[in-house]
């Protein structure tokens, strides 16, 4: 049956699906709808692909250092596993919601399909204040969350990884807890773990490295030389700090970065390595960093820098920021940083937006390499990891660019078209099991 879905009529197709319409999920759906229309997606497949396959909610009791038991809410959403075991990070944050996790899980489905790794999409979250919790409390929380989801996780089922406020140590606790229950060491159950436990060389830097690779590819398309470009980066965590470092290594002048404590500007260029050391030695933030002028986050987003890398969280670039930004290229290190209304403004202004599901796919690509290495029991050199990552990111960028040109759409819609098409094709081949 042809699929003549008018974007304005899409509610007809989505009802009676009980999908809450909050922002990150709605942002994802708006783009998915456009891709579905271009692909003339079968209506039944549309209905199937816009819902998560499974959602798990767990109450996690944790004995705090004070001796009091507190209960935290945890989520794991499996959006889709048509292409393989589901894959996606775990986010610890006081404001994380089930709908945000649902959107992030769906983005993982399209991202894995787009970069050609044999995984479906998932995401996890725990509503907790990680910066106010001790390492012991975080360990007890992580272990109980893992034990609760023991039947969900697995190297062939669902493979978690780090996301906001989760790191290698937390992945090590997941590995250990899962392995204790499985009665054998299962290092392929989680990625982004320490190298000493079967982690991959290059994984920690992979997302930032992918951001750098696609930025270089975009500059080449626009005829810009890295040495002539200024860069602003929002977020100075795993993704933002590495992206800033590697872009500076390529010759770009990084004039501003920000974190939760605000923005830091130096028109002559910031010393990114010095800032990384400062963060390590000063409680994890840039607060009080001396060699920069303090600016607000909004000022950072609207600077006249040639390249803007949002690498903090969702919904940062709205219509107004889009109007005011001086960037020529926006590279979405974060998931979902740009609202759909802002996309239109940016396109009209001629700003090239490299969408999240392409720009930050370096992380899941090297997670895939890590999983492959664990399963083979044979570990690659960092050079091999980086070479393969660079090649996959360059290929993905080129294919998204061609797809966007072919359909005369933005790179974002081009990326969705590629991701959704691949999943829909696999679904067609597998068929619907009755």
Tell me which residue of 159, 128, 132 sits closest to 146, measured CA to CA: 159
Contacts of ligand NAD in 351-380 (CB under 6 A): 360, 363
**Interface with ligand NAD, residue 335, by CB under 6 A:** yes
Beta bridge pairs of residue 330:
308, 353
Contacts of ligand NAD in 236-295 (CB under 6 A): 236-240, 258-260
> Which residue's CB is nearer to ligand NAD, number 93 or number 427?
93
In angstroms, the CA 19 to CA 52 distance is 10
Task: Tell me the closest approach of the beta carbon of residue 205 to ligand NAD, in angstroms.
Answer: 10
Q: Which stretch in 61-69, 94-102, 270-278, 331-339 sits in contact with ligand NAD by CB under 6 A?
A: 331-339
**Interface with ligand NAD, residue 302, by CB under 6 A:** no
Phi (first) and psi of residue 206, to 5 degrees: -60, -45
Contacts of ligand NAD in 149-178 (CB under 6 A): 162-165
**Interface with ligand NAD, residue 86, by CB under 6 A:** no
In angstroms, the CA 9 to CA 22 distance is 18
Reply yes or no on whether 123 is catalytic.
yes
**Interface with ligand NAD, residue 81, by CB under 6 A:** no
Tell me which residue of 427, 426, 418 sits closest to 357, measured CA to CA: 418
**Interface with ligand NAD, residue 207, by CB under 6 A:** yes
> Which residue's CB is nearer to ligand NAD, number 84 or number 284?
284
Paired sense of beta strands 329-331 and 86-93, if any: unpaired
Interface size with ligand NAD, residues (CB under 6 A):
24
Element (H, E) at 329: strand 329-331
In angstroms, the CA 153 to CA 149 distance is 6
Beta bridge pairs of residue 160:
88
In angstroms, the CA 97 to CA 58 distance is 13
Helix locations, 60-202, DSSP H: 98-114, 135-148, 168-182
Beta bridge pairs of residue 70:
62
In the DSSP assignment, the letter for residue 317 is: B
In angstroms, the CA 340 to CA 77 distance is 23
The one catalytic residue in 87, 111, 123, 422 is 123
Tell me which residue of 211, 206, 217 sits closest to 401, measured CA to CA: 217
CA dihedral over 341, 345, 347, 351, signed as positive or negative: negative
> Which residue's CB is nearer to ligand NAD, number 47 or number 318?
318
Cis bond upstream, residue 91 (ω within 30): no
Q: Which stretch in 65-73, 113-121, 221-229, 310-318 sits in contact with ligand NAD by CB under 6 A?
A: 310-318
Task: Tell me the closest approach of the beta carbon of residue 134 to ligand NAD, in angstroms.
Answer: 18
**Interface with ligand NAD, residue 410, by CB under 6 A:** no
> Which residue's CB is nearer to ligand NAD, number 97 or number 360?
360
**Interface with ligand NAD, residue 79, by CB under 6 A:** no
> Which residue's CB is nearer to ligand NAD, number 165 or number 410?
165
Task: Tell me the closest approach of the beta carbon of residue 253 to ligand NAD, in angstroms.
Answer: 20
Task: Tell me the closest approach of the beta carbon of residue 130 to ligand NAD, in angstroms.
Answer: 9
Decide: 345 and 322 in contact? Cβ < 8 Å.
Answer: yes
In angstroms, the CA 434 to CA 15 distance is 22
**Interface with ligand NAD, residue 301, by CB under 6 A:** no
Task: Tell me the closest approach of the beta carbon of residue 37 to ligand NAD, in angstroms.
Answer: 27
For 87, the 3-state DSSP assignment is: strand
Task: Tell me the closest approach of the beta carbon of residue 41 to ligand NAD, in angstroms.
Answer: 26
**Interface with ligand NAD, residue 312, by CB under 6 A:** yes
In angstroms, the CA 312 to CA 306 distance is 19
**Interface with ligand NAD, residue 235, by CB under 6 A:** yes
Q: Which of 333, 355, 414, 419 binds ligand NAD (CB under 6 A)?
A: 333
> Which residue's CB is nearer to ligand NAD, number 83 or number 206?
206
Contacts of ligand NAD in 10-69 (CB under 6 A): none
Task: Tell me the closest approach of the beta carbon of residue 202 to ligand NAD, in angstroms.
Answer: 12
**Interface with ligand NAD, residue 393, by CB under 6 A:** no
Helix locations, 87-167, DSSP H: 98-114, 135-148
Contacts of ligand NAD in 174-203 (CB under 6 A): none
Decide: 75 and 125 in contact? Cβ < 8 Å.
Answer: yes
Q: Is 134 exposed, middle or buried (0-12, 13-18, 19+ CB in 10 A)?
A: exposed
Hunting for tokens 């001796």 — which residue is that? 67
**Interface with ligand NAD, residue 313, by CB under 6 A:** yes
> Which residue's CB is nearer to ligand NAD, number 74 or number 333?
333
Write out the catalytic residue numbers: 123
Site for ligand NAD, rule CB under 6 A: 162-165, 207, 234-240, 258-260, 297, 311-313, 333-335, 360, 363
């Amino acid at each position: 049956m042809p699929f003549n879905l008018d974007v304005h009529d899409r509610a007809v197709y989505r009802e009676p699906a009980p999908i809450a319409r909050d922002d990150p999920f709605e942002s994802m759906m708006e783009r998915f709808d456009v891709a579905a229309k271009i692909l003339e997606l079968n209506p039944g497949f549309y209905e199937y692909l816009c819902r998560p396959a499974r959602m798990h909610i767990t109450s996690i009791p944790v004995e705090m250092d004070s001796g009091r038991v507190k209960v935290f809410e945890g989520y794991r959403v499996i959006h889709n596993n048509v292409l393989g075991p589901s894959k996606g990070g775990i986010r610890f944050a006081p404001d994380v919601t089930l709908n945000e996790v649902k959107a992030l899980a769906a983005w993982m489905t399209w991202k894995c399909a787009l970069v050609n790794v044999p995984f479906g999409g998932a995401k996890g979250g725990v509503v907790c204040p990680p910066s106010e919790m001790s390492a012991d409390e975080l360990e007890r929380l992580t272990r109980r969350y893992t034990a609760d989801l023991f039947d969900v996780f697995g190297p062939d089922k669902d493979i978690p990884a780090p996301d906001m406020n989760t790191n290698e140590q937390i992945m090590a606790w997941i590995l250990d807890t899962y392995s204790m229950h499985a009665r054998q060491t299962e290092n392929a159950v989680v990625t982004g773990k320490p190298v000493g436990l079967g982690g991959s060389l290059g994984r920690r830097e992979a997302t930032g490295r992918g951001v750098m690779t696609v930025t270089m590819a975009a500059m080449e398309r626009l005829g810009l030389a890295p040495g002539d470009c200024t860069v602003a980066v929002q977020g100075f965590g795993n993704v933002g700090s590495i992206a800033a470092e590697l872009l500076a290594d390529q010759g770009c002048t990084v004039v501003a970065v920000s974190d939760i404590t605000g923005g830091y500007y130096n028109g002559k260029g910031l010393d990114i390595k010095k800032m990384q050391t400062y963060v390590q030695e000063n409680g994890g933030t840039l607060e009080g960093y001396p060699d920069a002028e303090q600016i607000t986050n909004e000022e950072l987003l609207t600077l006249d820098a040639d390249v803007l890398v949002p690498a903090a969280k969702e919904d940062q670039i709205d219509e107004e920021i889009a109007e005011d930004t001086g960037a020529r290229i926006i590279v979405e290190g974060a998931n979902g940083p740009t609202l759909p209304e802002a996309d239109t403004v940016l396109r009209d202004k001629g700003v090239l937006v490299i969408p999240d599901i392409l720009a930050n796919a370096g992380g899941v690509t090297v997670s895939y390499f890590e999983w492959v290495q664990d399963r083979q029991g044979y570990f690659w050199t960092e050079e091999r990891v980086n070479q393969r990552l660079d090649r996959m990111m360059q290929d993905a960028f080129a294919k998204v660019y061609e797809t966007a040109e072919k359909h005369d759409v933005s790179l974002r819609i081009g990326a969705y078209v590629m991701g959704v098409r691949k999943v829909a094709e696999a679904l067609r081949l597998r068929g619907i099991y009755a």
